[in-house]
Amino acid sequence: MGFLDRVSTVVQAKMNKIMDKIEDPRETLDLSYEKQLQLLQNVKRGVAEVTTSKKRIELQKAKLQVSIDKLDSQAKEALAANREDLARKALENKAGLQSQFASMDQQIADLNDQQQKLIAAESRLATKVESFRTKKETIKAQYSAAEAQVKVTESVTGISEEMADVGMAVQRAEEKTDNMKARSAALDELLETGTLTDFSGDDELGRELAKAKTQSSVDDELAKMKAEMKK
């Protein structure tokens, strides 16, 4: 494959991808349905035109029959009046009209055949169009449902990712809290054992008072022991 062929393939692939994003199959189906309806309308119009033409010829045929009957009566009247020449003329005109009459019969028969074919075609096409409409609506409903499912899945996926971030943040906060509690407990223990000195005023006063109480208790016990020994 040459360079230009590869470029053409890449461009075609990208165009197909772009068109896939732009094209909505529901709109495409609706457009196809509209075209089929237009085609069905054209067939119906054809049936109407053929029917109109047939009716027009039938009316002309009826008028022609009146003229033929009239010429036939005129020929008889001419013979009754011993005017064979006029009778012949009337019959000649009648023969010409009868030729047209036969031609009209053939035209009407041809138009009737055409009309029946168009009516049958219209019926078949109407059935296909209705079938396509049903299938179109089904596909559109399925596509809409799938589209909604994709959006829901994408939303859930996004929520899951956010919840994972929130979970990690909570875990870090709990770890920091536990570390802070452990550090506070360790400092309290060091203060109680005297390893650390608390230089705040309130704590120093407390220690002095505790020391004084301890010393007083020791003095009292010592005096008591001395008194007992003297006895």
Each residue's pLDDT tens digit, 3-54 = 555 545 544 545 555 545 556 888 888 999 999 999 999 999 999 999 999 9
Each residue's pLDDT tens digit, 60-108 = 999 999 998 998 888 898 888 888 888 889 888 888 888 888 888 889 9
Instruction: Give me 127's structure tokens.
Output: 């059935």
Each residue's pLDDT tens digit, 129-139 = 999 999 989 98
Q: Per mean pLDDT, which of 31-40, 177-186, 189-198 is the most reliable?
A: 31-40
- Distance between CA atoms of residues 112 and 50, nearest Å: 8
Residue type, 59: L
Looking at residue 191, its pLDDT comes to 61
70-84, 190-204, 216-230, range with the lowest pLDDT: 190-204
Superfamily for 3-155? Helix Hairpins (1.10.287.620)
DSSP string, 81-95: TT-HHHHHHHHHHHH
Q: Is the pLDDT of residue 116 over 90?
A: yes
Place of tokens 């494959």: 1
Kind and range of the H or E element at 52? Answer: helix 25-80
